[in-house]
Each structure stands twice: as C-alpha cells, then as structure tokens.
Chain A
Amino acid sequence: MGAAEAAAVLGAALLLAGTVGPLLRLPSGAALALQAAGISLAGVAGAAVLCGVAPLGSGFQDGLEPALGVDGLSGFFLATIALVALPALAYGREYLRGAPRERWLVALGGLFLLALGGVVAARDAAVFLAAWELMTLAPAAAILVRRSDAEVRHVVFVYLAVTHLGGTGVWIAMLALAHYGALADPGALAGQGAAVQTLVIVGALIGFGTKAGLMPLHAWLPRAHPVAPSNFSALMSGVMVKVAIYGLVRVLFEWAAPVPLWVGLALLAAGLLSAFGGVLFALVQRDLKRLLAFSSIENVGIVALALGAALVFLWEGDRTWAGIAFAAALLHVLNHAVFKSLLFLAAGSFERAVGSLDLDRLGGLLRRMPWTGAGFLLGAAAIAGVPPLNGFVSEWLTLQALVHVAFGPALGTGLAGGVAAAGLAATAALALFCFAKATGLVLLGSPRRPEVGGAVEPGRAMRLAPVALAGGCVALAAVPGLLVPALAKLAPGAPTVAGGAALALPGTGSLPSPWLLLGIVGLTALAWRLRGGRRAAPVPAWACGQRVEPALGWTSAGFTKPLVLVLGALLRPRREVEVTRTAGIVESVTYRGEIPHRFDTHLYRPLRDRALAGAALVRRIQSGSVRAYAAYLLALVLTMLVLLRVGAIG
C-alpha cells in the first residue's frame, strides 16, 4: 500500500469516526477535528493522484460488489471537497456551538462529507447510487434538525421531491451503464445502438442536471440553499452541485463516449439558459443567500457551457481545444467552489451579527466587520469575474473556448458557439452588476437599520474561514497555468496543453495572470506610497442640497431598477402602490413590488397542477375498502392466469 492509498484509507476512517463520534457523546470539537483531519487526508491523496500518482483502489466495476477507488478526476473532486470542507468545518466549530441539537448537526455534516466523497470515490453502481441518495438526504435532515416550521418543511419537501424525481434519471443511467458493462469498459455502450446510448445520456442530463441546478431543472436550489445552516449552504452550493457535474462528466466523457453532437449543443443551450437566467434572477433578489443561490445556478451554467464546448470540439476531432474547454470547466468548478463557499460563510456571519439577510436592512458592514467584510468583498470580486482574480481566469478560458467554437468548421456549431460566447459575455457583465449591488448594499454606505449599527465580528474561527478562502481565490488566480495542464490531461485522449505560470493557448495568445496580479499589487503599493499621510477629507456628502438621510440610500430594488425596466418584458415585475388620501391630502403611501420567478409560475405550477389532477383521477380506484382491494387482487390473479393460459406472457 502506497502512501497515498494509506492516506485515503486513514482519511475515510477518521471521517467515519468523526461522523459516528458525536452520537457516542464525543465532544463536537473533537468530532469536527476528526472530520477535518479525515477530509484533508483524503483531499491530499486525491491531489496526489491528480498530480500523477497511480490511481488508488480498484477500477470501475459493473457487478454489485462494493468497490472504491480514486483516479485523476475523482482526485480533483476529492481535493476540491477538502479545500471547501476544511474552512467550513472550522467555521462550523464556532457557528454550531450551542446550537440546539449540535451533536446531530455535527454528525450530519460528517455524513454529508462521507456521501460527497463516496460519490466521487465509488467504483460501482451500487456504492455510487447509495452515496448519491445519502448526499441528497443529509442536508435535508440538517435543515430539518435546525428548523422545522411549516415553511421549512415545505422547502424540504420541494427539495426532496424535485431531486428525487430528477434522481430517477441518475438511477436509470447508472443501472443501464452497469447492465451493459459500460462502467468497466467504456466502449461497451457504443455497441448497444443509439437507443440505449440516448437513454443513458438523457437520464444523466436530467438526473445530474437537476442536482447541479441547471435551468429549467433548478426549482429546488434557490429554496433549499438559503434555509440550510450556513456551513451546510457553503458545502451544498460549493461542492454538492459540483459532484453532480462530476457525474455528468463521467457519463458524457467516459462511459457513454463518444456522444453525438446534439448532447454538446444541448449542454450549450442549458448552460446559456442557466448562466443568463441565473444571474438575471440573482440580480432581482432581496435576500442575500437567495441571491447567492441563484448565482450558483449561473456558475453551473458557465461550467455547462465549457463542457458543451468540449463535447463540440471532441465531435469536431479537435482534442487539444477539447482539453482546454474541459480544463476550463473543471477550473471553474474549483474556483466557484472556493468563492461561493466563502460568500455563504460570510453571509452566515452577517446573519449571525445582524439577524437578517434582507439586502434592504444591511449596509455599512465593511467598517463594522472588517475581516468578514474584506473576505466577502474579495469573493464577490472573484465571482463577478474581476481580473485578475480566479473567477476571471476560468471565465476567460471558457470564453476563449466558446469563441474558438464559433470559428469552427461547421456553420451550425459556429453559430451556436457565437451565441453562447455572446451570452457568456452578457452574463459576465450582469454578474458584475449583481455583485456590485450585493457588496454595495451589504458592505458600503451607512446601516439601513439600527441593529446593523451594532454588528460586531464573530469569533476567530468564523472570521478566519472566509479569509482563508479569500487567500485561496488569490492563489488560484496567481498560478492557474500550473493547474490547467493537469486538468486538460483528464479529458479524453489526455491532450497536452502548455503549462507554466502564465496561461498560453494555441492560436489565441495568453493570459499572463501572475504578472497581472503582481502588476496590480505593485501599482496599488505605489499608489499607497504616493498617498503618503494624506487622508480623504471628512466632509458630509452632497445630496442635491437635501439633508443626508438613510432614506436616500440605495435600495435593492432601486439599484436594479434600470435593468428591470429594460428587461420588463422578460421579468414581468408586479408592483402595487396604494395611496391613502384624506381630503385630497396624501396620508400614506404603501408600495409593494416583487418579481415573480417565472419558472415557478409558468412551468412548475402547471406541471404540478396536471400531476395532481392525474393523481386525483387515479385515486378514485383507491376506495378505502379492504374488500375492494381484495377484489383488485383477485382480478389481477385471474387476469395473470388467463394471460398465461393463452400464452400472452411467460
């Protein structure tokens, strides 16, 4: 047993001990430490495999024997899980302290990590599906353990219903793959004809797409992520949706490969819809965590765009660019995991300090919570794609890939690539707008409510976790060139992409990210130095001659109003203004405005109504009489006998 394998096994054992521990009255701190040690060992083992150590454990099997193992792709996802889980666990140590049923939350956190690791390390269909279901159930249980009022129960119901309905796709795809022996031998599915391959691909797209939150299968995500405890939200948004991407990558690039062109185009379309729709709905949210959840949909859309581009390149036979697009997708997975968990953890600290995440109630938090605020600011800049941070790097790579698709040989794919590139550019611009709004309303200005004025920083662990993740953002921004060749190697055909600190792409030029970063740091230092002892003059802001009042500050609706006006036909905002007049004098004005989630009103509600109507029809045979049920049974037995007799079955 090599060192990496020993680390992986020991890590899994420690994680298991940290999960069971709290139920056996082990103190939560010790349990969280065990979990942290376990997941970091597993992550190190994964990173080692990614960097060239031979794959650990067994290879993929089609039987029902449980098998575990780690190869390069699994290693990358394990390392990503560990990278997010470590700060989340440290944060959870303080965040969960004294919470009701703390032990259960700690144990469920460990179970969630085990399930996440289990999915990426599974080497047969049974372990994969078991871990997959556990991964769905653990956060649901954690949400319910923390709060169980009617609203939360409804959210959990929607989450479980949507992910389980979608999850049937995963079951169908995995069992069909195992049945045809395609897990162990990826070529096996090609011999089964197009129908089986299409079944597997559609099942995987729906099943993994639901869990990843790809539009229009995302209904659960903006509901479930905000109500989970913040350390869970960070893992759900940062890692769980990425594990769904892992499944999608496995199926489309390995088990069902080579896939037809329509799959790539479908991914491009779903990615475009998710990226653009996600950021659009994120923009108009009033709750910070809900905004972050919609932004997760946007980022999953960007990942899907890159994967779609990779599939189109593979169809065209361009393995190098397929590798680059594939690496862009994985890099964005890693980047988004880091900054989204940062933002969720920081949001948890804000909520703890202020008691609300309503954007219209916050403000001025950067001054009151400098550490968390600075972390949030950096994370927001990274997710908005501000160069040279890590979000920019992967979005730049994705954009390069899409532009390259646009200049491809066939007109159809070229057109698709062009539209996708334009959509991604628009998404990036809107994301900047969205996070300018979020940081402006949360961090800057003056407190909009008195309770915000008294906000103070949380303890050390909750402060350091976002800061550590912000450090991760900067590190990933500095040297993406070291990671991209290793990620491109995981693509089919293991293409070689030039490495080095800066990113150099064939035929398009390069992104000298470390030099950019150094330059910006140097310029900032220079400006700082030149500023000397001067400070901004403390004079009151000029507000057109009025007195400066909190009511003059931006509101979340006011900030996005121009956009909502432009996109009114798409967003269909609803507003009600009631003016109460007494004898011609305005006594009071009440305003209520909302932007309905049109997927809910136009897609899910009609679907749900039809399903309920169908169920009501079927329920007529459910009379509640034992004797009627016996009569059904008798009819069934006699029908089967007659059918057997006439040779229709058997």
Chain B
Amino acid sequence: MSAAVAAMVALGFGVIVVRRRSVATALVAVQGLVLGVTALALAGGEGGALALAGAILIVRAAAIPLLLVIARRRTPERALVAPTTSVATRLLLGTAVVLVAVAATPPLGLGERVAEHGALALLCLGITTVAVRRPALLQVLGILVAENGVYLLAIAVPGGVPAVVELGVLFDLVLVVTVAGAFAGKIHERVGSGDTDLLRGLRD
C-alpha cells in the first residue's frame, strides 16, 4: 500500500513539474494504472470487486488518457505557453503544500493512515497543479490527480464503497473529461491557444 501511495504522489509531482502535455498525460495514465492495480490487489479475488477494479483500471489507465490524447491532438500549440513559475518554484511549492497537508491530516478513520495521508497529499497537489499551470489540458490533469487522491481513499476504506457509487464516480469522471476536452477545443478554436490566462478578459 505504502509503495503504491508513494508512487502515486511521485507521479503527481511529475505532473506539476514536466513541460510537455503529452508526458504529463502519460504520468496521469500511469497513476491511474497504479490505482487500478492497487484496487485489484485489495479486491482479494472476490468476483464483483475484481470486476469493479478492472473497470477502474480500464477507465483510469486507458479510456481517460485516450480522451486526453485526442483533446491534445486537436489543440496543437503553435508556440510554447511560457510557464509563469520555474520548475524549482513549482517543485518547492508542491512539496510545501504536500508537507502541510500530510502534517495537518486529521484522523479520518477511513482506512490505513498512509492512504489518508496520500489521498490528501494528492488532492492538494492536484489543486496546486491547477493553480500554477496555465495550459487548459494541464489543469484538467490537475483535477484528475486530485480525483485519483479521493479515489485512493475510497478503495482503502475497509469493506469498500458501494459498487453503484464507484461506477457512478467513474461515469462522472469520463463525462467531466469529455466536457473539459470539448471546452478546451472550443477555447483553442477561439483564442488559438489553451492558455487559460487569456480568458481573464472574459470577466464582465
């Protein structure tokens, strides 16, 4: 469990740091893979739980990354969207946020302590990604990292979350990514870039 959590947090740091959107997408896909494998391992051979974990694996590690790749293909950036913060700053910021989150995690009583820490670290890391990265696609990836964190907690709960809820969350996620991709495409069509800072002028 702790290895999986450590891997996921490390991948989260990757998303906040890397320059290319394709690499970040791959990192989130791997994160989904780790999450799916952990779910499979925790399912412990029970038929229904196994099927569910398989669904998680397929959606998180394959379907969503595929949607994101399609979205990226449709929105080629002509020029580099210059990051406002340097790699070192982002890394430092991410580390600080994760440390605060882990230190402040109250006992939630939802599963193993390490899973609770990991979940909150990923949640905060995801939001930080949205806050420091300008391209729309990377912000969607930040949301996915945060979502993976919440999901980590869900699969860590002993006895599990009802299957209907898990499937519902998966369906929601696909919907969110589809809509976000469509929006990113539209914004790109109008503005010619996925840089969300260009949208500031839309405020009334």
Q: Which B185-204 residues have C-beta < 8 A from chain A?
A: 196-197, 199-203
Contact A630 B101 (CB under 8 A): no
| B113-130 contact mask (Cβ, 8 Å, vs A): 1 or 0 | 000000010011001101
Residue of B nearest to A645 (CB): B104
A641-B105 in contact (CB<8A): yes
Q: In the complex, which residues of chain A have a beta carbon less than 8 angstroms from the beta carbon of B197?
A: 625, 627
Rounded to whole angstroms, the CA-CA distance of A627 and B128 in the bound complex is 9
Contacts of B203 in A (CB 8 A): 622-624
Kindly state whether residue A637 has any CB partner on chain B within 8 Å.
yes
Enumerate chain B residues within 8 angstroms of A644, measured Cβ to Cβ.
104, 106
In the bound complex, residues from chain A placing their C-beta under 8 Å from that of B134 are: 627
Within the assembled complex, what's the spacing in Å between the Cα atoms of A631 and B127?
7
The chain B residue sitting closest to A628, CB to CB, is: B131
**Contact in complex: B100, A642 (CB < 8 Å):** yes
Given A624-B203, A641-B120; A630-B127 close (CB under 8 Å): yes
| Residue among A637, A642, A644 facing the most chain B CB atoms (10 A cut-off) | A637
Sort chain B's interface into a size bin.
Answer: 20 to 34
Chain B nearest CB: distance from A475 CB in Å?
57
Are B101 and A641 in contact, with the CB atoms below 8 A? yes
Residues 626-644 of A, flagged 1 when their CB comes within 8 A of B and 0 if not, give 1110110110011001101
Q: Are A626 and B127 touching (Cβ within 8 A)?
A: no
Q: Does B38 contact A (CB under 8 A)?
A: no
Let me know if A627 and B124 touch, CB within 8 A.
no
A626 to B101, CA, bound (A): 22
Partner of A638, one of B101, B130, B139, B201: B101
A193 in the interface (beta carbon within 8 A):
no
Contacts of A623 in B (CB 8 A): 200, 203
Bound CA–CA A32/B158 (angstroms): 62
User: A650 at the A/B interface (Cβ < 8 Å)?
Assistant: yes
Cβ B202 vs Cβ A650 within 8 A = no
Decide: A624 and B202 in contact? CB cutoff 8 A. Answer: yes
Task: For residue B167, give the distance in angstroms from its CB to the closest CB of chain A.
Answer: 26
Residue of B nearest to A632 (CB): B131
Q: Looking at the assembled complex, report how far the CB atom of B130 sits from the nearest CB atom of chain A, in whole angstroms.
A: 4
Shortest C-beta distance, B92 to chain A (Å), equals: 15
Interface presence of B97 (CB below 8 A): yes
Q: Which residue of A lies closest to B106 (CB)?
A: A644
Given known A624-B200, A631-B131, A633-B127, contact A638–B97 (CB-CB < 8 A): yes
Which chain A positions have C-beta within 8 A of B5? none
B97: chain A residues within 8 A (beta carbon): 634, 638
Taken together as a complex, chains A and B put the C-alpha atoms of A240 and B64 apart, in Å, by 55
**B132 at interface, CB cutoff 8 A:** yes
Considering the chains assembled together, what is the distance between the CA atoms of A630 and B146 in angstroms? 12
- Set of chain B residues within 8 Å of A638, measured between Cβ atoms: 97, 100-101, 104, 124
Point out the residues of chain A lying under 8 angstroms from B130, CB to CB. Answer: 626-627, 630
Interface positions, chain A 581-639, Cβ under 8 Å from B, are: 622-628, 630-631, 633-634, 637-638
Best-surrounded residue of A623, A626, A634 (most CB of chain B within 10 A):
A634
Given A634-B128, A634-B131, A637-B124, also A627-B104 (CB < 8 A): no
Asked whether B131 lies within 8 Å of A624 as measured between CB atoms, the reply is no
Q: Whole-angstrom distance between the alpha carbons of A622 and B196 in the complex? A: 15
Contact residues in B for A628 (Cβ distance below 8 Å): 131
- Nearest-neighbour CB distance to chain A for B77, whole angstroms, equals 17
Nearest residue (CB) in A for B136 is: A626
Partner of B106, one of A624, A630, A645: A645
A650-B200 contact in complex given A631-B131, A637-B123, C-beta closer than 8 Å: no
Q: Are A637 and B106 in contact (CB under 8 A)?
A: no
Distance in Å from the Cβ of B166 to the closest Cβ of chain A? 23
The contact string, 1 if C-beta is below 8 Å from chain B, for chain A 360-392, is 000000000000000000000000000000000
Given A624-B201, A624-B203, A641-B104 contact (CB < 8 Å): yes
The answer to whether residues A642 and B131 also contact, given A623-B203, A625-B200, A634-B97 and a CB cut-off of 8 A, is no
Q: Which residue of chain A has the shortest Cβ distance to B100 in the bound complex?
A: A638
State how many angstroms separate the Cβ of B80 from the closest Cβ of chain A: 18
Q: Which residue numbers of B lie inside 8 Å of A, CB to CB?
A: 97, 100-101, 103-106, 120, 123-124, 127-128, 130-134, 139, 142, 196-197, 199-203
Known: A627-B197, A638-B100. 12 other contacts (CB 8 A): A624-B201, A624-B202, A625-B199, A626-B199, A627-B133, A630-B128, A634-B97, A634-B131, A637-B101, A641-B101, A645-B103, A645-B106
30 A-B contacts, Cβ less than 8 Å apart? A622-B203, A624-B199, A624-B200, A624-B203, A625-B196, A625-B197, A625-B199, A625-B200, A626-B139, A626-B196, A630-B127, A630-B128, A630-B130, A630-B131, A631-B131, A634-B97, A634-B124, A634-B128, A637-B101, A637-B123, A637-B127, A638-B97, A638-B101, A638-B104, A641-B104, A641-B105, A641-B120, A644-B104, A645-B104, A645-B106
Q: Which 10 A-B pairs have the closest CB atoms?
A: A624-B203, A630-B130, A630-B131, A641-B104, A631-B131, A624-B200, A644-B106, A634-B127, A645-B104, A626-B196
